Amino acid sequence: MGEIFYLGVCVSLAPAVEVEGLSKTFRGKCALNRVKLTAKRGEMLALVGSSGSGKSTLLRNINGLQTAESGTVRILGATLQGDGRIYANVRELRSHIGFIFQQFNLVRRLTAIENVLAGRLAAMGNWRSSLRIFTPEEKLQALAALDRVGILDQAYKRASLLSGGQQQRVAIARCLVQGAQIILADEPIASLDPESARKIMELLDDLNRDGITTLVSLHQVQLVRRYFPRAIALRDGEVKFDGATRDLDDAALGFIYDQAADELIVRGHAFA
Ligand code: ADP
Ligand code: MG
């Protein structure tokens, strides 16, 4: 757990994300089985596992889009869900979490800047958010975020006209404008060509260096090794590995992925 000294007093900082004993079933089939994980503030953590291993379910539970039957999720020290119940402060807690999807999840008919400004809606008063009235400062902030992700020149283009990589950049800019302290990214590069995928990984790495705690689910083992100091691997909804990615050797991968390991390693080479 991180600690800071303030006026000579040691203050403990709660972890960014704490998951304990999280179990979730879909129609009797187990998707998560007593999952436990802790992401310290500022960590960059990969979530790996073959298709159906529970990665998306876990990420959705961490930001309270879904509830599990048992277990708890705490965000920055506050409980978001516990034993199947979403806590009342979920909106406030969720405002700290940016979510990035494989399919970008932008409003395609809106421009890039309008999509980025959507990151402000949760923090705005009701009347302003319902009319989508943004202040000049908010617009400048959105433009700065688009500049930060390298697509300022696309600010007034409709999202539907942007490439996949550009759309993912808009989604990341939206997290910046939201002021997210935690980014959960569910296979953010799975729909991108290798070069765009690399750029998105560089960007996530860059934001993490600014202190944003980052949890990313992904398949490409080489990218996991290159960008992430630590990985958590799921298999059939259970955590089978939690440790330094340098220990995620081929033997460990074989155990985690079973027969699918070869396919993952070969696929990963395309990005190496
Ligand atoms: P991953 O993201 O690793 O591919 P998921 O979290 O999507 O895995 O899925 C884990 C398991 O839960 C799978 O068996 C999947 O079929 C099941 N599952 C996930 N979401 C649903 C849902 N909404 N309804 C029914 N089954 C689901
Ligand atoms: Mg998934």
Tell me if 61 sits within 8 A of 94, measured CB to CB: no
For 218-246, write each residue's pLDDT tens digit: 988 889 999 999 999 999 999 999 999 99
User: How confident is the model over 45-63, as a mean pLDDT?
Assistant: 96
CA distances (Å), 19 to each of 37, 68, 238, 247, in order? 5, 11, 13, 23
Q: Give CA angle at 186 (183, 59), nearest 5°.
A: 70
Atom of ligand 1 nearest to the CA of 186: 2
Q: How far is the CA of 55 from the centre of ligand 1 (A)?
A: 8
pLDDT at 69 over 60: yes
Which residue of 51, 57, 99 sits with most ligand 1 atoms within 8 Å of its CB, as the best mutation to test the pocket? 57
pLDDT at 1 over 50: no
Protein residue with least CA distance to atom 27, ligand 1? 26
Task: For ligand 1, say whether the CB of 51 is within 6 Å of any of its atoms.
Answer: yes
For 114-134, write each residue's pLDDT tens digit: 999 999 887 776 777 777 788
Ligand 2 ion: nearby residues, β-carbon < 5 Å? 55-56
Token pair, residue 25, equals: 């079933």
- Confidence band for 63, pLDDT divided at 50, 70 and 90: very high
pLDDT at 204 over 50: yes
pLDDT at 189 over 50: yes
Protein residue with least CA distance to atom 14, ligand 1? 52
For 86-108, write each residue's pLDDT tens digit: 998 898 999 999 999 999 999 99
